[in-house]
Structure 1
């Protein structure tokens, strides 16, 4: 048990801290995103583009809180919080736009299954988001 605690501490607080925390937050965001997407698209019957927007938005709400407070441990003054939120929203709107366009491209041009394309666009969004969060939003 002691070794497990040491290993977990190394992963989440050692050299791998930033990457492991971003990945963990991303997994949680993805679960939220996929659950809402599946509910909207499968159970409710909304178009996959609308479902993508709704699911992605729910994941983003979770992402802001966890990435700011836990992943990047960003502590800014309250007077800068508005600018930070605007930058975060801009990154996610750009990422959402890219994922919707890419998803449509994969579904319409390559006949990808909606859920397979969802996985591909989610991975693309993770790379884009990590870089922009690290370099611009929570810098």
Structure 2
């Protein structure tokens, strides 16, 4: 049962991270008028940092005193997830006779969620 609640916590943290990512990106792009790619990087960075902190304390209850190393591992897992997300969308949308972009994105989100959860549970916060 602990694994089930850990997955739920991880998912809720991810939803909050997505809101932070979109919100910060919108704020910096639309209101502060920062370049859209810089705004996107700011949103991604804020979301990853937030997700690390919440997952460290709430989801995985880490007591690791080497938090900088742990954060670096979390960032690497997140960047690999971002790469997987892009590749999966490309393969489904571009290569599979034009699967709808949002259907492809849905599949990517599901697959990357599983990757991120398992990699963080078995590597980052073990």
Q: Tell me the TM-score normalized by structure 1.
A: 0.66
Unmatched tracts of structure 1, length 5 or more: 1-13
Deviations 1:39-84 (A, max 9, x none): 6xxx9xx7xxx7xx7565554233212111111111221xx12211
Tell whether 2:75 aligns with 1:89.
yes
Displacement of 1:119: 1.6
Q: 1:121–1:59: structure 2 CA closer, same or farther, 3 Å change rule?
A: farther
Count of aligned pairs: 116
Cα distance in 2 between the residues matched to 1:127 and 1:57: 21
Matching residue of 1:99: 85
Ranges of 4+ aligned residues in structure 1 off by more than 6 Å: none
When residues 112 and 32 of structure 1 are mapped into structure 2, their CA distance, relative to the original with a 3 A threshold, is farther
Cα distance between partner residues in 2 of 1:89 and 1:118 = 21
* 2:118 matches 1:131: yes
Deviations 1:12-44 (A, max 9, x none): xx74432221122123234445x46x96xxx9x
Pair 133,98 (structure 1): closer, same or farther in 2 beyond 3 Å: same
Matched residues in 2 for 1:32 and 1:119: separation?
A: 19
Distance 2:100 2:70 in 1: 36
Does the 8 Å contact 1:22/1:67 carry over to 2? yes
Larger Cα-atom Rg? 1
Secondary structure, in 3 states, of the residue corresponding to 1:62?
Answer: helix
Unaligned runs of at least 5 residues, structure 2: 31-35
